[in-house]
């Protein structure tokens, strides 16, 4: 055996010796600790919009009542209808949710946010008639316009159950729950009407008369309601504790029996003109009215067309207790039922 071989054998014996010393220790040592997924906490910020399922319930029925009436009016001789009030379609919303995950899959959440819906439009008519008599010719040139602006705001307080399924870099999740919605509706409206008469005569003095009427009103009502919501979506993990998500949601909440108040101010002006004298008569009358009550939906009958048209206003008493003949009288119900899409940003925190 050469000297080199002896050195090699000596190092092998040394390694075997050290192995016999440390192997029992290594064999009995605990394996490296592996971190197990435990409870976690997350904050979810979201924003998006939903498509209104039926235009808000009785709000849509009141809109159709006005549109149908002026459509019928526009079909009468010498009338032209102006129709610029569209159905409420989209309902934007923003939210914040605090979610506690009991394990990697199951969580419970408490959230709030802000929901806003609006329905605004204008409608009216023009009337133009030129006539003649033995003494000359005359013209009626009338016009009327209405502007409606409804704003519905709601603050939800929701409780949801969450299910999350990790899929590598992605998370699939679904949730469902109940909510308490604090609702408020404001309605601003104006009415303007002008009736203008003028004539030209070879026998009499020429005349003009003009009547203008302007009304401005506002209503404010409040109501709280229970509702349901749910959704599902996908999240993409940007890091260990940040994710971006896209979800589809549904919401069902109906506010009925609104309580609130109204106020109105109006101006009525009449004046007359005579050839050679000018505007010899000019009188203006103003007035106002205030009150409180409930928001009512009802249908009033119009004898000119033989039809009923929906309306919605705050009344101190039932509309049927006034001089107006009404049908289908009920306390108005307005909903924020919608399906839509939400973008979310979520931050995760490990609790242990």
pLDDT digits (tens, 9 = 90+) for 175-190: 999 999 999 999 999 9
Alpha helices in the chain (DSSP H): 3-28, 58-74
**Average pLDDT of the segment spanning 157-178:** 94
Q: Which of 224, 290, 226 is nearest to 257 (CA)?
A: 224
Q: pLDDT higher for 19 or 169? A: 169
Domain ranges of the chain: 38-350
Res. 17 pLDDT band, cuts 50 70 90: very low
State the DSSP string of 29-94. Answer: SPPPP-PPP--EEEEEEEEEEEEESSTTBHHHHHHHHHHHHHHHHHTSTTEEEEEEEPPP-EEEEE
The per-residue pLDDT of the chain, averaged, comes to 89
- pLDDT at position 40 is 85
3-state helix, strand, coil in the chain (%, to 5): 15, 70, 20
- Please give the distance of CA 41 from its chain centroid, rounded to a whole number: 30
Residues 39-72 have pLDDT tens digits of: 889 999 999 999 999 999 999 999 999 999 999 9
What are the b/e assignments for 115-147, b being 16+ CB within 10 Å? bebebebebbbebeeeeeeeeeebeeebbbbbb
Express each pLDDT in 232-257 by its tens digit. 999 999 987 899 999 999 999 999 99
- Whether the per-residue pLDDT at 231 is higher than 60: the answer is yes
Q: What is 38-350's CATH number?
A: 2.40.160.20
Lowest mean pLDDT among 119-123, 126-130, 317-321: 317-321
| Separation CA 181–CA 243 (nearest Å) | 28
At 260, list the tokens. Answer: 């609130």
- The pLDDT, as a whole number, for residue 9 is 40
pLDDT above 90: residue 29: no
Measure CA 65 to chain center: 21
Most distant pair of Cα atoms in the chain: their distance: 152
Cα 37 to the center of its chain, rounded Å: 40
pLDDT category at 5 given cuts 50, 70, 90 is very low
């Amino acid at each position: 055996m050469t000297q080199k071989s002896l050195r090699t054998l000596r190092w092998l014996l040394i390694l075997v010796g050290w192995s016999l010393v440390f192997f029992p220790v290594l064999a009995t040592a605990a394996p490296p600790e592996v971190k197990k997924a435990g409870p976690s906490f997350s904050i979810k910020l979201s924003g998006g919009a939903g498509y209104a399922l039926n235009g808000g319930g009785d709000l849509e029925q009141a809109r159709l009542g006005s549109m149908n009436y002026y459509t019928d009016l526009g079909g009468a001789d010498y009338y032209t209808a102006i129709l610029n009030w569209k159905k409420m379609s989209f309902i934007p919303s923003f939210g914040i949710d605090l979610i506690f995950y009991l394990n990697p899959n199951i969580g419970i959440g408490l959230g709030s946010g802000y929901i806003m819906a609006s329905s605004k439009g204008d409608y009216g008519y023009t009337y133009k008639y030129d006539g003649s008599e033995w003494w000359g010719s005359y013209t009626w040139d009338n016009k009327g316009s209405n502007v409606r602006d409804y704003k519905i705001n709601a603050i939800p307080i929701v409780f949801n159950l969450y299910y999350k399924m990790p899929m590598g870099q992605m998370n699939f999740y679904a949730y469902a729950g109940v909510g308490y919605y604090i609702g408020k509706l404001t309605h601003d409206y104006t009415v303007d009407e002008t009736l203008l008469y003028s004539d030209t005569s070879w026998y009499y003095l020429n005349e003009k008369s003009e009547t203008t009427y302007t009304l401005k009103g506002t209503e404010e009502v409040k109501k709280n309601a229970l509702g349901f919501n749910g959704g599902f979506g996908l999240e993409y993990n940007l890091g260990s504790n940040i994710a971006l998500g896209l979800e589809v949601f549904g919401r069902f909440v109906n506010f009925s029996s609104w309580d609130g108040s109204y106020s109105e101010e109006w101006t009525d002006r009449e004046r007359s003109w005579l050839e050679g004298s000018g505007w010899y008569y000019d009188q203006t009358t103003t007035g106002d009215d205030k009150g409180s009550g409930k928001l009512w939906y009802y249908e009033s009958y119009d004898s000119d067309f033989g039809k009923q048209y929906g309306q919605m206003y705050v009344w101190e008493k039932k509309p049927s207790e006034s001089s107006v003949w009404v049908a289908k009288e009920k306390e108005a119900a307005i909903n924020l039922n919608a399906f839509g899409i939400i973008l979310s940003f979520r931050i995760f925190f490990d609790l242990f």
